[in-house]
């Protein structure tokens, strides 16, 4: 039953130097699925996404576009909002780092760090990559470039530093005491060995450009964009007002979902900044992998960037949501291919789930006057299928607690398969004359299993799952996870069944 326990989940905030692409859509959809799951499970959810608008990279992109930085940010940030709308993302807030609430939060956090002696003034001389918005030492470079392959430039300027070097042991102790802090394990190991190799103080202000949050009392400096960006997670729940209801309810966040390239910022710098300001670190950071496109690295120069809008237009939103979360174990890299997309759409969605629902509901419509059947006593096979269905929720909870989305979806589709085997074995279409009572029982079992599948699939395919539930005439207030064990009411009138998961048919004249 709903217990209203708070659940705070965040996406990274996206740089506005570039248009939204599949990588952004992926993180946001994964968070959306989890946010919807937790709401249906009775949690009080706060789901945050937004845009990261300061720093040299954005300043340069604005200059290249010939517009003032803020105007440029307004324009691109809007595209991220539009994308969230098109993907039916259920975020509760959308933060922009250029908002006054955020600038105030950054300056308050800075002051806390300064007051505690965690920040000091010095000067930076070293390499900087604008693309990564990261500092590198000579030893980090590979063939004169950042380890990520990004170009670097030499920077020498007055700068404030954060005493990161003093936080190594405390970070290691924190990881030790909180084994669930970083997932998956491969990333956790990577972070721990990075910290063990020794931390240097971190430059946290820049003086050679101005597009950033001014450092309090020293406006020649703007804050390093990552200190600014990470702070968004506390801004959005009310920081610096630590007595705010939202802050007390939602901080520390339950989960920051990030891509594998930005783990270090979230799992090393962020908890160090927070601990240094005596703020609790988030409970968990999970890093997902990267997508390639038909086997190739996605890059603007290769011209193979996947626009989420194009995918949705071709396949429909729910199949795309399903595919992205089912195809690849969350945390691993994955490859997008049209063949794989169409394969899953046609076999699992149309052939598996759609077929199950359509067969069951059309026999009911034809033979049972379009009403939920009145079942007789359940036999062993009925009970077995119903028990398998009833076991789904716990499996999903366990999988989703660890962000194993593919495992959760597999648990659901194992029941779809079992139900399709059941319908074939029971062959209700042949029972009308010989045993009408048994026919009604079999169809009741099937309809109720479809109901449970529909309820549990809402987080991943909200529109389709709800259309499925509409076909069972299930009231809108009976679709939460707390309703899973309330069976369909026999005798309820059902609407005319219609297919919810169409097969994908190649548009004429086009190759996949």
Buried b (16+ CB within 10 A) or exposed e, 108-139: bbbbbbbeeebbeeeebebbbbbbbbbbbeee
Q: Strand 285-288: give its sheet, edge to edge.
A: 93-96, 44-52, 6-15, 255-259, 285-288, 182-183
43 touches 7 (CB < 8 A): yes
Nearer to ligand MSP, 307 or 478 (CB): 307
Q: Specify the residue, 237 or 440, whose C-beta has the smaller distance to ligand MSP.
A: 237
Shortest approach of ligand MSP to residue 452 CB, angstroms?
32
Residue nearest to ligand MSP (CB): 259
Binding residues for ligand MSP (CB under 6 A): 12-15, 23-24, 26-27, 52, 229-230, 232, 258-259, 261-262, 290-291, 298
* Alpha carbons 27 and 23: distance in angstroms, whole number: 7
Minimum distance from residue 120 beta carbon to ligand MSP (Å): 24
Task: Give the nearest distance from C-beta 99 to ligand MSP in angstroms.
Answer: 15
Q: How far is the CB of 298 from ligand MSP (least distance, A)?
A: 5
Task: Enumerate residues 6+ apart whose C-beta is below 8 A from 83.
Answer: 20, 24, 25, 28, 308, 309
**Cβ at position 435, least distance to ligand MSP in Å:** 53
Residue 313 CB neighbour total at 10 angstroms: 12
SS3 state of residue 76: helix
Between residues 15 and 135, which has the closer beta carbon with respect to ligand MSP? 15
What is the DSSP code (8-state) at residue 368?
S
Nearest distance in Å: CB 26, ligand MSP: 5
Q: Which is nearer to ligand MSP, 29 or 461 (CB)?
A: 29
Closer residue to ligand MSP, CB minimum distance, 31 or 393: 31
Residue with tokens 């690849």: 328
Nearer of residues 51 and 360 to ligand MSP, judged by Cβ: 51
Rounded to a whole number of angstroms, the minimum distance from the CB of residue 172 to ligand MSP is: 23
Shortest approach of ligand MSP to residue 3 CB, angstroms? 30
Element spanning 355, H or E? helix 355-367
DSSP string, 433-477: HH-HHHHHHHHHHHHHHHHHHHHHHTTTSHHHHHHHHHHTT--GG
For residue 69, give every residue at least 6 positions away whose Cβ sits within 8 Å of its Cβ, in sequence order, or none. 53, 58, 59, 62, 211
């Amino acid at each position: 039953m709903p217990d209203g326990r708070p659940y705070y989940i965040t996406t990274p905030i996206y740089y506005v130097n570039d248009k939204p692409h599949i990588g952004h859509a992926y993180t946001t959809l994964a968070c959306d699925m989890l946010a919807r799951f937790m709401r249906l499970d009775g949690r009080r959810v706060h789901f945050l996404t937004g845009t990261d608008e300061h720093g040299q990279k954005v300043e340069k992109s604005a200059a290249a576009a010939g517009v003032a930085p803020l105007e440029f940010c307004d324009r691109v940030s809007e595209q991220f909002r539009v994308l969230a709308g098109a993907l039916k993302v259920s975020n509760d807030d959308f933060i922009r780092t250029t908002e006054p609430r955020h600038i105030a939060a950054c300056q308050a956090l800075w002051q806390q760090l300064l007051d505690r002696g965690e920040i000091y003034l010095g000067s930076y001389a070293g390499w900087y990559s604008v693309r990564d918005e990261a500092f590198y030492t000579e030893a980090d470079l590979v063939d004169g470039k950042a380890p990520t392959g990004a170009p670097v430039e030499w920077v020498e300027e007055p700068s404030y530093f954060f005493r990161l070097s003093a936080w190594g042991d405390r970070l290691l102790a924190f990881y030790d005491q909180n084994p669930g802090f970083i997932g998956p394990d491969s990333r956790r190991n990577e972070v721990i060995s990075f910290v063990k190799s020794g931390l240097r103080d971190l430059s946290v202000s820049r003086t050679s450009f101005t597009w950033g949050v001014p450092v309090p009392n020293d406006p020649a400096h703007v804050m390093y964009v990552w200190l600014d960006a990470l702070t968004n997670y506390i801004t959005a729940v009310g920081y610096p007002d630590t007595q705010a209801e939202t802050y007390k309810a939602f901080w520390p966040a339950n989960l920051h979902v990030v891509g594998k390239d930005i783990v270090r910022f979230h799992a090393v710098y962020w908890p160090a900044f927070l601990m240094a300001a005596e703020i609790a670190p988030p409970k968990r950071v999970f890093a997902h992998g990267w997508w390639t496109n038909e086997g190739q690295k996605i890059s603007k120069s290769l011209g193979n960037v996947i626009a989420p809008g194009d995918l949705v237009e071709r396949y429909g939103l729910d199949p795309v949501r399903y595919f992205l979360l089912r195809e690849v174990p969350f945390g691993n890299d994955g490859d997008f291919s049209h063949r794989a997309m169409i394969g899953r759409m046609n076999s699992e969605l149309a052939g598996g789930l759609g077929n199950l629902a359509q067969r069951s509901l059309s026999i009911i419509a034809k033979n049972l006057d379009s009403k939920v059947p009145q079942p007789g006593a359940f036999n062993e096979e009925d009970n077995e299928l119903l028990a398998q269905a009833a076991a789904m929720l716990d499996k999903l909870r366990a999988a989703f607690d660890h962000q194993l989305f593919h495992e959760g979806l597999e648990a659901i589709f194992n029941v779809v398969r079992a139900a399709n085997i059941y319908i074939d074995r029971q062959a209700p279409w042949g029972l009308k004359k010989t045993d009408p009572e048994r026919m009604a029982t079999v169809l009741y079992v099937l309809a109720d299993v479809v109901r449970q599948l529909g309820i549990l699939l809402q987080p991943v395919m909200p529109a389709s799952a709800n259309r499925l539930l509409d076909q069972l005439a299930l009231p809108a207030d009976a679709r939460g996870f707390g309703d899973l064990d309330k069976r369909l009411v026999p005798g309820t009138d059902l609407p005319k069944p219609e297919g919810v998961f169409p097969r994908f048919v190649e548009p004429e004249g086009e190759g996949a």
